[in-house]
Amino acid sequence: MLRFIVIRLLQAIPVLLAIYTITFFMIKAAPGGPFDAERKVPESVLEKQRAYYGYGDSLSTQYFRLLKRHITFDFPPLASVPGLTSGDIIKNHFGPSVQLGLLAMLAAVLIGVPTGTLASTKPNSLFDYAPMSVAMIGICLPTFVIGPLLALVFGLWLGWLPVSGWFEWKDRILPALTLGLFYAAYIARMTRGGMLEILGMDYVRTARAKGLKELLVVFKHALRGGIMPVVSFFGPALAGVVSGSFVVETIFQVPGMGRHFVQAALNRDHSLILTTVLFYAILIIVANILVDIIQVILNPKLRYQ
Amino acid sequence: MSFLSLSPDSAKISSEISEDPQSLWQDAWHRLKANRLAMFGLGFFLFISILSYLGPLFYAHSPEEISLSLGATNPLSKATLVEVRFDEEKQTPDEVITLQEFIDVYAEDPETDVANLSVNPTTELMGIYFSKIERFHFLGTDNKGRDLLARIMQGGSISLGVGFLATLVSLLIGVAYGAIAGYVGGKVDSFLMRIVDILYALPFLIFVILLMVAFEGFEHQILLIFVAIGAVEWLTMARIVRGQVVNLKNMEFVEAAKATGVKTIAIIARHLAPNILGPVIVYATLLIPAVMLLESTLSFLGLGVQAPNASWGTMIKEGAERMQAYPWLLIIPAGFFSLTLFAMNFLGDGLRDALDVKTAKD
């Protein structure tokens, strides 16, 4: 197990290097820079700014210097937000984003798994068709449609929940639901598919034959195998949640990292873009490794490979 | 399968089918026709395509016709407007104002002037010519007084267009990549597919945003969207095509064809291509809504289609900003967009069943 984790972590290094390189040259190819202000600034000031933030040197010098600073966690100062480093931005805005992402995944699992399980225990009945149709709607409605609609209905018409900000627990509900509903729908469909397959297996029949209660059969014996597809879906889902949070943070004014990334991209602030891209990449790689570990824990067959 | 079945219905169907020989595609079409949801999807998709591309030719209002004084009106509303001409002969009016503005600004004696306006085709006041028009807006107007249905048509043509062309781009990349990996096999295959695995784990949106920003000054901005989206959406296609090619390469009928001396080109054209086509069509159908979704997300973040062009994503964004006062500005474009996605997904699922493809994601 330890060897497996170490190998996966070592594999991640060239990947991260490739991501860093591609991102670096993509930003450098972009026209404009963070100093394109509307106000006219004297050339000498611009010169000094470029030198201070490290935009004046040759590409290769910039490439290696930034790389070194990222590896040593000595984050460069930001041209677009004077006085702060890209590390500060992550430190300050990482919390809300992660909270949003985790709450969304929690909502997705709490809604998706029971719905899918219920649908699979009574296939082709009302308990199957009704939730699965709703799931299809959930998949077809994009985040930026669900978000404003939820805000309109629950926030403005009914007045139950606040529609923007990030202060008390009530503020978390709408953003997390908006982000989580799509994945809830997907998870429900996958759980149903996986459970239907498992419930037809011999060992489930054996469990029933020895007189176990149906609840125990479904939740203890079948669910463990039935949610395997869901577990392997977590990797791609996390990548999706990260992208989705850009939109949700915009809709509900959440002070997370997504908006900073979009802003950094628009400002061509190379150090902030690089730091955020690397940060997201590490997050996703770590999550994928965790998913692999969970799979091994859930499925004994994989342990011997 | 069917000859084993004892149910009278399927026996009847199989006898019907066996009456005259049917190709794979006819067979698939039969199955698709039986699937109501898929047929609804196909019908709605045709409807929305015709509406978006041919509708503007017949519809009275232009999506760019701004009348700020009219502002947002409810769906199914009639607007009474006054055309103002400084020269009587002029075709297009110099200004279009509301009746209230006419009363406030131009009318000397409101009651008689308004009465005159309704009776005569043109009324002259102080050397300015006024004529009353009635406009009917089926879906109402947006906050700039633009007809919403006309904007829906225009937005639809852009959203669908991006959907098709970006899917085409990803189709070309994915099929070529997957076919090479599958056909060459060995180390090349595992290297190429390892790259796909790695790319899979990355948040696409970040790369699309970077691509969009990197080429921002580019003249043909919509073209860029096709390429940017196509460049990230080809992964699943590559996997599917590779899987098919690897399977088919070693099948008996391909070996038989080789053994009997059929030329390589003929093998590819007659034996490999038709078998890859099914999954490719199914996946492409499912990819179109995914691409439309990505384009709308970009537009929603302000990075996609730029004014004066508008996609449904842009319209939803604008609607969301004003949803408190004018909820229909959000609900109508969101409805069109979601229904189209629905229809495409149902059609894709139906095609998957009809063509009996098992390679898709779930």
Residue B218: predicted pLDDT: 62
Is the CB of residue A99 less than 8 Å away from at least one CB of chain B? no
User: Measured between beta carbons, which residues in chain A are less than 8 angstroms from residue B210?
Assistant: 23, 26-27, 265, 273, 277
B341/A140 Cβ within 8 A? yes
User: Could you tell me if B351 and B261 lie in one domain?
Assistant: yes
In a domain, B82, yes or no: yes
How many Å from the N-terminal Cα to the C-terminal Cα in chain A?
A: 10
A15, A139, A247 member nearest B198 (Cβ): A15
Distance CA B171, CA A194 (A): 30
Per-residue pLDDT tens, chain B, 362 aa: give them.
344 444 455 444 554 555 566 677 777 788 888 777 788 888 998 998 888 888 777 777 777 776 666 666 777 677 777 777 777 677 677 677 777 777 777 767 777 777 776 766 677 677 677 777 777 777 777 777 777 888 888 888 888 888 888 888 888 888 888 888 887 778 888 888 878 877 776 666 777 777 777 776 666 667 777 777 887 788 888 888 888 888 888 788 888 888 888 887 788 778 777 788 878 888 888 888 888 888 888 888 777 777 777 888 888 888 888 877 788 888 888 888 888 888 888 888 788 777 766 543 33
pLDDT given for residue A39 in this prediction: 61
Q: Nearest to residue B349, comparing CAs of A139, A300, A178?
A: A139
> Does the beta carbon of A268 lie under 8 angstroms from any beta carbon of chain B?
yes
pLDDT value for B18:
53
Q: Are B140 and B77 in contact (CB under 8 A)?
A: yes
What's the CA gap between B219 and A103, in Å, rounded?
A: 41
Q: Do A27 and B214 touch (CB under 8 A)?
A: yes
So what's the pLDDT on residue A216? 83
CA distance B280 to chain A (A): 21
Residues B204 and B338 in one domain: yes
Q: What is the CA radius of gyration of chain A?
A: 24
**Contact assignment for A250 to B342 by CB distance below 8 Å:** no
DSSP tag of A75: P
Given this model, what pLDDT does residue A33 score?
66
> How far is it, in rounded angstroms, from Cα B291 to Cα B166?
7
Q: B152 with B141: CB under 8 angstroms? A: no
Q: Which of B110, B137, B164 is the last residue of a domain?
A: B137
Residues 327 through 356 of chain B touching chain A, CB cutoff 8 Å: 327, 330-331, 334, 337-338, 341-342, 345
Q: Please list, residue by residue across B250-282, b when 16 or more beta carbons sit within 10 angstroms of its beta carbon and e when fewer do.
A: eeeebeebeeeeeeeeebeeebbeebbebbbbb
Please indicate whether, in this complex, the C-beta atoms of B204 and A239 are within 8 angstroms of each other.
yes
Answer whether B201 sits within 8 Å of A32, measured CB to CB: no
Residue B324 included in any domain: yes
Do both B87 and B219 map to the same domain? no
Is A30 in contact with B216 (Cβ distance < 8 A)? Answer: yes
Same domain, B185 and B325: yes
Across residues A262-275, what is the average pLDDT?
78
* DSSP structural state of residue A266: H
Cβ-Cβ contacts under 8 Å, A139 against chain B: 345
Q: What distance in Å separates residue B213's CA from the closest CA in chain A?
A: 7
- Asked if the structure places residue B325 within a domain, the reply is yes
Q: Does the beta-carbon distance from A261 to B209 stay under 8 Å? A: yes
Q: Do B257 and B316 reside in the same domain of the chain? A: yes
Residue at B71 is within a domain: no
pLDDT in the model for residue A269: 76
| Residues contacting B123, CB < 8 A, separation 6+ | B113, B116, B117, B129, B130, B131
Chain A hits for B341, Cβ within 8 Å: 140-142
Instruction: Identify which of A26, A247, A285 has the shortest CB distance to residue B301.
Output: A247
For residue B79, give the H/E element and its range: strand B77-85
| Segment 132-171 of chain A within 8 Å of chain B by CB | 136-137, 139-145, 147-149, 151-152, 156
How distant is the Cα of A37 from the closest Cα of chain B, in angstroms?
Answer: 17
Rounded CA-CA distance B313/B205 in Å is: 15
> Could you say which of B89, B115, B137 is where a domain stops?
B137
Of B210, B215, B362, the CB nearest to A23: B210
Dist. CA A251–CA A144, nearest whole Å: 8
B 34-93 residues with CB below 8 A of A? Answer: none
Among B137, B168, B187, the domain-final residue is B137
Same domain, B85 and B190: no
Distance CA B288, CA B358 (A): 19
Same domain, yes or no, for B93 and B241?
Answer: no
pLDDT digits (tens, 9 = 90+) for A217-257: 888 888 888 887 788 777 777 777 876 787 888 888 888 88
Tell whether B93 and B182 lie within a shared domain.
no
Are B156 and B263 in a shared domain?
Answer: yes
Please choose, from the candidates B334, B302, B305, B330, the residue with its C-alpha nearest in 3D space to the C-alpha of residue B143.
Answer: B330
Residues of A whose CB is below 8 A from B200: 236
Check if B298 contacts A (Cβ < 8 Å). no
Same domain, B105 and B188: no
Q: Does B216 touch chain A (CB under 8 A)?
A: yes
**Interchain contact, A145 vs B301, CB within 8 Å:** no
Give me the residue from B203, B215, B324 closest to A280, CB to CB.
Answer: B203
Give me the residue label for tokens 């038709």.
B274
| Residue of A17, A227, A238, A243 to mutate, testing the B interface (most B Cβ within 10 Å of its Cβ) | A243
B138 inside 8 A of chain A by CB:
no
CA gap A184, B334 in Å, rounded: 21
Task: Answer yes or no: do B96 and B231 share one domain.
Answer: no
- Structure tokens given for A265: 């991209």
Report the pLDDT value the prediction gives residue A197, as an integer from 0 to 100.
81
Residue B300 and residue A31: Cβ atoms within 8 Å?
no
SS3 B248: helix
Q: What mean pLDDT do residues A48-67 have?
A: 75
Residue B24 resides in a domain = no
Sorting pLDDT into bands at 50, 70 and 90, what band is A258? Answer: confident
Q: What is the DSSP letter of B128?
A: E
For residue B67, being part of any structural domain is answered with no
- Answer whether residue B193 is part of any domain: yes
Average model confidence (pLDDT) across chain A: 79
Please report the sign of the dihedral spanned by the C-alpha atoms of residue A122, residue A124, residue A130, residue A134: positive
Per-residue CA distances from A210 to A122, A197, A204, A215 (Å): 21, 20, 10, 14
The distance of A155 to chain B (nearest Cα, Å) reads: 10
Chain A residues touching residue B206 (CB < 8 angstroms): 242-243, 261, 277, 280
Residue A276 to residue B138: CA distance in whole angstroms = 46
Domain that holds residue B276: 148-361
**What are φ and ψ of residue B308, in 5° steps?**
-80, -10
Q: Is B227 on the interface with A (CB under 8 A)?
A: no
Residue B303, chain A, CB below 8 Å: the answer is: yes
Residues in chain A closer than 8 A to B289 (CB atoms): 140
Cβ of A140 within 8 Å of Cβ of B345? The answer is yes
In total, how many domains does chain B have? 2
**What integer pLDDT is reported at residue A305 of this predicted model?**
52
Does residue B258 form part of some domain? yes
Distance from CA of B40 to the nearest CA of A (A): 15
Query: How far is residue A66's CA from residue A50's CA, in Å, rounded to a whole number?
Result: 15
pLDDT digits (tens, 9 = 90+) for A120-159: 887 777 777 788 777 877 777 778 888 888 888 888 788 7
- Of B201, B205, B210, Cβ closest to residue A246: B205
Q: State the Cα–Cα distance between residues A245 and A229, nearest whole angstrom.
A: 23
Structure confidence at residue A75 (pLDDT): 77
Pair B149, B140: CB distance under 8 Å: no
Q: What is the CATH number of the domain that holds B231?
A: 1.10.3720.10
- In this complex, is the C-beta atom of B293 within 8 Å of any C-beta atom belonging to chain A? yes
Whether B110 and B233 share a structural domain: no
A109-139 core/surface letters (b: 16 or more CB in 10 A; e: else)? bebbbebbbbbbbeeeeeebeebbeebbebb
The 10 Å Cβ neighbour count of residue A38 is 4
